[in-house]
Amino acid sequence: MSDIKKVVLAYSGGLDTSVIVRWLQDTYNCEVVTFTADIGQGEEVEPARAKAEALGVKEIYIEDLREEFVRDYVFPMFRANTIYEGEYLLGTSIARPLIAKRLIDIANETGADAISHGATGKGNDQVRFELGAYALKPGVKVIAPWREWDLNSREKLLAYCDERNIPVEKKKGKSPYSMDANLLHISYEGINLEDPWAEAEEDMWRWSVSPEAAPDQPTYVELTYKKGDIVAIDGQDMKPHVVLETLNKLAGENGIGRLDIVENRYVGMKSRGCYETPGGTIMLRAHRAIESITLDREVAHLKDSIMPRYAEVIYNGYWWSPEREALQALIDQTQHYVNGTVRLKLYKGNVDVVGRKSDDSLFDEKIATFEEDQGAYDQKDAEGFIKLNALRLRIAAGKGRKL
């Protein structure tokens, strides 16, 4: 252990990571560098500085990564219409590659020997952090305290704090939900949610009103796209992170974005979690709408076919992998003509597409019309098309084959 002189820790300022600072100091007799990222979690990150200083930390990194997070991670993921297991919009998963990248950057800047994180040995995040770290710096040492120590309960963590005079807030009563938040979503796990039959309590949700409590009048919003990314809302140009902040507010006010699922973790277990992804829910629906008029049919179907694989790659922590980069190159190639505007109606938990237009639209009214098309489409051509496509079916049936 003596070869570890300096460690960069992903530090939130909460109970777990505050204990980890002191545990690293005591166990490895090393210097600790803390890194706190503002990725839109909705809480002040600057107080982490005072907490780290109180623990004797000399090198403290606190960074606003909101724009980079949405521009370089969230937007590329949404170009693929990405959902995991048919429902999950990957709010936690997509934040981990950025944090892993900055951990390695800071380790290089400070000459640290190792990085550390507060993810438990049961979850996906340990995999995501560490796969990213190893991809970016193959020889890096990773210290995961939850896989080494015996402080496996809140009570033991608090006792450790008492013994070593670690300043932390002590919440009385039962533990709160385990939550993780960033600009894309907030997640909830633990307590009654560990029973898949138990309904989530209404006062658990933080970012959205219930659909029942949403306004009785719909909200209309127009999103402008350029190469698959939203660049303006209601005609007003916005930076990527401001787009998501704005959509979160609009969607949350209209009861949009709640999700309650049981998912399959990469480590093998099933896990029940609740998520609020208000702006992301709008983004997914709107992006599919603009693609519906701008993408070629086979390109759209190809994207749909690779999306589950792309979602697994991100969920499992392989953002910094050659397969993700290859998939991303294909996805981004499809977005050159995904330009235009989508009009949406938000109402009591629903997102309805009520209009879409684009200068790059492949929708041809002359061909699609039910009225007189003046020869734009010869309906007689369909007969040969159908017979040719039925040829293999007719041959098999003629041989007496049964389905």
**Residues annotated catalytic, as ranges:** 16, 96, 125, 178
At 284, is the secondary structure helix, strand, or coil?
Answer: helix
Question: From CA 401, how far away is CA 403, in angstroms rounded?
Answer: 7
The values of phi and psi at residue 352, to 5°, are: -110, 130
The H-assigned helical ranges of 64-221 are 66-69, 75-78, 96-110, 125-136, 154-164
Helix, strand, coil tally for the chain in percent (to 5): 45, 20, 35
CB 313 within 8 A of CB 321: yes
Extended strands (E) in 92-235:
114-116, 141-143, 178-181, 186-189, 219-226, 229-233
Alpha-carbon distances, residue 394 vs 381, 401, 403 (angstroms): 19, 10, 12
